[in-house]
Amino acid sequence: MAAFFCGYLSGISVLSNMKKRNGLFITFEGIDGCGKSTQAKKAFSLLKKEGYPVVLLREPGGTPVSEKIRKILLDRNLDINPEAELLLYEAARAQITAKKILPVLESNGIVICDRYYDSTIAYQGYGRKLDINFINRLNRVASYYTTPDITFVFDVNYQTSLSRRNKTPDRLEKEKQAFFNRVRKGFKELAGKRRIILLNGKKDIETLSEQVLTVVQKAVAGKKIKLAG
Ligand SMILES: Nc1ncnc2c1ncn2[C@@H]1O[C@H](COP(=O)(O)OP(=O)(O)OP(=O)(O)O)[C@@H](O)[C@H]1O
Ligand SMILES: [Mg+2]
């Protein structure tokens, strides 16, 4: 009970210090090789070309500290225990959120992020079987209570994922099929949330891009994002 109230009160103090976030926050999610980066780049290029204030970021990464953490997380020669892995992802997230994401959202810009906290629920929660309530609490802290406005999840099976990856797998990609099946299931279950749009990642790049851009353009208009400059 005491722990609940402490958490609740610290949440209130974070919320009361928050500046208005009128920007648009879009995240791209799914298992390795599902097409996140391809689609995130396409959405970024289009919005940039149209003159909107938009940044493209990736997780883990996006700041000097977070990129160093990324190197540790993806190093296939390191043996990192699941709790340490979770905390490293959250540390990288707190840094990119504070330094890069919030300033853009507070100045009415658009943030496109290649992975965000749904990946932690899917990989460390469903994949590594860590406690999802605990992960949700860490996600709230590391995101400064920020929620993406729209999240695209590209669903592909393990075989498709494997066929699209680099030859040398990183530390996470070295995991077995059963792990990725759990992660995929996690993303599909998350897709019950209203902000999450589940797309069939096996469709061709252009068809998917049209689906993504239709949603993005509607959201940009809905948020009344002004052109840069
Ligand atoms: N819809 C698609 N159909 C066929 N090939 C695709 C599709 N989307 C992406 N690809 C190709 O699959 C490969 C992986 O795509 P991409 O890098 O976008 O995936 P990712 O989800 O970002 O992967 P990772 O999790 O490893 O970062 C690339 O060679 C890309 O061109
Ligand atoms: Mg990628």
Question: Which domains does the chain possess?
Answer: 22-222 (3.40.50.300)
164 lines ligand 1 (CB under 6 A): yes
Structure tokens at 51: 């003159």
Structure tokens at 220: 């940009």
* Residue 102 CA: distances (Å) to CA of 65, 73, 116, 141, 163: 16, 24, 14, 13, 36
Neighbour count for residue 83 (Cβ, 10 Å): 12
How would you classify the pairing of strands 24-29 and 54-58?
unpaired
Please give the helix or strand (H or E) that residue 56 lies within, else none. strand 54-58
Residue with tokens 């210090």: 17
Q: What is the pLDDT of residue 15?
A: 61
- Residue by residue, pLDDT tens for the chain (229 residues) are 555 555 555 555 666 667 889 999 999 999 999 999 999 999 999 999 999 999 999 999 999 999 999 999 999 999 999 999 999 999 999 999 999 999 999 999 999 999 999 999 999 999 999 999 999 999 999 999 999 999 999 999 999 999 998 879 999 999 999 999 999 999 999 999 999 999 999 999 999 999 999 999 999 999 999 999 7
Contact 165, 76 (CB under 8 A): no
Contact 208, 36 (CB under 8 A): no
Distance, CA of 57 to CA of 207 (rounded, Å)? 23
Q: What is the pLDDT of residue 135?
A: 98
Residue nearest to atom 3 of ligand 1 (CA): 204
If you compute the radius of gyration of the chain from its CA atoms, what whole number of angstroms results?
17
Up-side HSE of residue 164: CA atoms within 13 Å toward CB?
A: 18
Q: Which ligand is nearest to the CA of 154?
A: 1
63 lines ligand 1 (CB under 6 A): no
Residue nearest to atom 13 of ligand 1 (CA): 164
206 lines ligand 1 (CB under 6 A): no
Distance, CA of 150 to CA of 215 (rounded, Å)? 9
42 lines ligand 1 (CB under 6 A): no
CA of 4 to the centre of ligand 1 (A): 42
Please give the helix or strand (H or E) that residue 20 lies within, else none. none
Q: What is the pLDDT of residue 18?
A: 77
pTM of the model: 0.94
Residue nearest to atom 9 of ligand 1 (CA): 35
Report the residue among 28, 36, 38 best suited for mutation to probe ligand 1: largest number of ligand atoms under 8 A from its CB.
38
Please report the atom of ligand 1 found closest to the CA of residue 208.
1
33 lines ligand 1 (CB under 6 A): yes
Neighbour count for residue 81 (Cβ, 10 Å): 8
59 lines ligand 1 (CB under 6 A): no
Distance, CA of 212 to CA of 205 (rounded, Å)? 10
